[in-house]
Amino acid sequence: MGNVGKPVHHDSAVGHVTGTAPYIEDLVLPSDALVAGFVGSPQACGRIKRIDTKDARAVDGVVAIFTAEDFPGNNYFGPHFKDEPALADGEVLYVGQPVVVIAAESPAALEEARLKVTIEIDAGDVEPILSIEQAIEHDRYLGVPLQIARGDAAEAIAAAPRRLQGVFHCRGQEQFYLESQAAIAYPGEGGQMVVHSSTQNSTEIQSVVAESLGRSMQDVVCVCKRMGGAFGGKETQAAIPAMLAALVAHKTGRAARIVYGKDDDMASTGKRHAYRVEWEVGFDDAGQIAGLKANLYSDGGAAADLSMAVLERSMLHVDNAYYLPTAEINGQVCFTNYPPNTAFRGFGGPQAIAATESILHAIARDLDVDPYQVQVRNVYGVGERNVTPYGQIVRKNHLPEILSTLAARSQYRQRREAIAAANRSDRLKLRGIALSPVKFGISFTTKFLNQGNALVNVYEDGTIQVSTGATEMGQGVNTKIRQLVADEFGLPCERVTLMVTSTEKNPNTSATAASASTDLNGAAAVIAARKIKARLVDYAARRLASVKLGLTLSPESVVLEDGFVFDERNPSQQIEFGQFCHDARRDRIDLGARGFYATPGVDFNRQTGRGNPFFYYTQGAAVAEVEIDRFTGDLRVPRVDLLIDIGRSINPGVDLGQITGGFIQGMGWVTAECLEYDEAGVLLSHSPTTYKIPAVTDVPPIFNCELFDNDDNEENVARSKAVGEPPLMLGISVWSAVKQALAQVNAGDDLRLPATGEEILRQMYPAAAVKHATPAAPVSSSDKGPAADPDASLHES
């Protein structure tokens, strides 16, 4: 039979497409349940001078209004430092920060009351910090500086035949999950609290709710059936709605539900971090890097959240796919008066990898060669030149083969020549093509998080329930775990059900994040299943042994296959699995087990910047072709080719969906998704009308996606590899292709990310030339003008 390796349908697919899969907003509550919502700060910083709720309390249907002082326990929370209040406490730090929470009988009463709350802020003469540059100027940081170093990079750069330096900028990105932040809370017996949360981290919700109510974790249960998307945005940011719902439920004794509106969600929650990367590189005439110095500054927002961990992963991915003989990588999280920025698919990796790809393109531009030549010159080797700046060996490295295979399959070189020829004659369109690799480390960089647990129960009718700490957000983790467990017992997937995630059944869980949820929870489920299977096999061996037939007691001869149990020496005598489990129960065989898995061999010393933070690497590459309208800056992506090593796929259908979606999400980040704020720190792009994510019409019409044939990841569950985050970084190939297109008209050296139409026009037509309607003239391949003399942000020393 075998389920692993087959494109089994997502276990909630029917519910998703028919609209019957329930989310937080759909759950039926008691008739006296309350609706809750918050009122946020109107200013980016200042002392709270006055909160006037008199008129709001007078609204018919308003039950209660609470502020920070109403929490019976701790109003503050945070994964690293408890520096973020659920409700603003004495001061506000960003526009939209929750200040009061209102509980009402109906949504209409809630919305009317929200409009009648007055919050006065006294900012004095303090100006908000609204950029990384302002934070650096005012010396405002979160956490401590970080460094990863190997050798003397400064000396290597100084001694190199060629040197370049520059600054890379990228903006943040909104997670744009379809289900907004949401939670339900209702009181249980003896002061207990039950919370249904749209969260990636049920244990963290259990912990912060307990602490906010002045209770212990045994008094709180967190439940999560599914999320309508998350992408990292519900790893820590689900805490505030859960705490607010629990506060209302605790104070009123009634169930409470809070669901953010899309505008409030976008305005008040953290996003992917914006980055500023100052770099200097030394290299030889062939483009081989001798040394790299990089100073990374991230926009952490107004509280630490996960910013230190995000920055750390950025620094661990500055190398991307390339060997750096010497490197000095420094990092600092900047404080700004924006919502605390947080996890987003890739978790700091995309910003670092984009910066590194821009550096390699600068080297290629300086040498007047194809960037692919520089990439191949510097790519990690097999058996040599294969140690990262933090000291981890890149084992089972397939990067050289992936690059060469993809270049051949995509006809990269031939298409590059054809595009160059077209650009010399076409005055309407400008084209570019680029190849971008990715090497993404899989594991949490915090060691203790690399653990998972599962509970497997086999019932006497031969059906199975599985509970794990993983949370389902559409990525298919439950479907994969279902396949893994079904295969252990030789059953079809229909006989296995994944249960709701609950801290009542699975304690002390790690967040469903870091692309590791199947690795951790799937492995734990397999361990639990094998415990039960061992008991069943032993029981079957005793039952099937026969002196008459000459069958000695032989557990190793027992087979569980196609829903039957039999001895391979006598396959004609088969017992249906349900009947077999029925009999096993009556013979008092334990049909339940708990499994625990801890990732082996991962350990990283933050003090020294050395160690093995990752269990393995997912590797891949993409070739993207772009077409730019020379008059409008409008961008099209007519073709992409992807090749990615995800080991032995547990579910190719789910994995190809993740790869495709991840690439498109990455493409959106680098081309269209632009977070715009005004001078007071107000988010202007706070809804689908002003924040543009890729639509179905933006999907490249030619989209070739292939899996690299590889099953050498034997240490991981089913020889698979993580697939959630790495594909997003393949979208950087689109941005690189834009750089290559702009290079044809002597532009693009300081191309910022995202490369919107406005940014492309800024590159093609500098301020002094914007008023001219004539498109930028094509540049022949023999033109050695400005291309060899980059501007001040990227210059040869």
The catalytic residues are 725
Phi, psi of 734 (to 5 degrees): -70, -45
Cis geometry, peptide bond prior to residue 754 (ω within 30 degrees of 0): yes
Q: CB under 8 Å, gap of 24 or more: what pairs does 406-414 form? A: 406/435, 406/621, 406/622, 406/623, 406/641, 406/642, 406/643, 407/372, 407/435, 407/623, 409/641, 409/643, 409/704, 409/706, 410/435, 410/623, 410/641, 410/704, 412/372, 412/623, 413/370, 413/372
Instruction: Provide the residue count of the chain.
Output: 797
Burial of 24 (0-12, 13-18, 19+ CB in 10 A): buried
SS3 378: helix
Of the candidates 636, 26, 15, 736, the one whose C-alpha atom is nearest the C-alpha of residue 434 is: 736
Helices vs strands, H then E, count in the chain: 21, 32
> Left if phi > 0, otherwise alpha if psi is -120 to 50, otherwise beta: which for 232?
left
In whole angstroms, give the CA distance from residue 109 to residue 102. Answer: 10
Please, what sign has the CA dihedral across residues 386, 387, 388, 394?
A: positive
CB-based contact 202:239 (threshold 8 Å): no
- Separation between Cα atoms, residue 344 and residue 313, nearest integer Å: 12
User: What is the C-alpha separation between 200 and 379, in angstroms, rounded?
Assistant: 35
The residue type at 22: P
Q: Measured between alpha carbons, how far is 600 from 615 in angstroms, rounded to an integer?
A: 7
Per the listing, tokens 């006055």 go with: 50
Give residues with Cβ within 8 angstroms of 378, minimum separation 6. 287, 288, 289, 322, 323, 360
- Determine the residue type at 61: G
